[in-house]
Amino acid sequence: MKTQELRIEGMTCSHCVMSVKKELSKLSGVIVEDVQIGSARIQIDEQKVDEHTLRNAIDEAGYKIIAIQ
Ligand code: 9UX
């Protein structure tokens, strides 16, 4: 497992936080550690999850990843 920090554009309220949490939680191989307005800290299983998967999930929630660290 590897910790990743996502910078997310378009989140402005606590409901956005809930949506992002929910979407990331659906992914097999992701443990959501913390989500705040504009960012998410997760742990990923690199065998199961890549950058593309994360970007798709956040798109699905209606937001956009602007950086992955
Ligand atoms: Mo809050 Mo977020 O009303 O897209 S859900 S701004």
Tens-digit pLDDT profile for residues 3-31: 999 999 999 999 999 999 999 999 999 99
CATH of the domain at 47: 3.30.70.100
pLDDT of res. 33: 98
User: Looking at the 3D structure of the chain, how many domains does it have?
Assistant: 1
This prediction's pTM: 0.94
Q: How far apart are CA 51 and CA 65, in angstroms?
A: 10
Q: Residue 20: which domain range? A: 2-68
pLDDT of res. 52: 97
CB-ligand 1 contact for 12 (6 Å cutoff): yes
CB-ligand 1 contact for 42 (6 Å cutoff): no
pLDDT in tens, 32-67: 999 999 999 999 999 999 999 999 999 999 999 999
CB-ligand 1 contact for 8 (6 Å cutoff): no
pLDDT of res. 66: 98
CB-ligand 1 contact for 47 (6 Å cutoff): no
> 10: Cβ–Cβ under 8 A, 6 or more apart, which residues?
16, 62, 63, 64
Distance from the CA of 46 to the center of ligand 1, in angstroms? 30
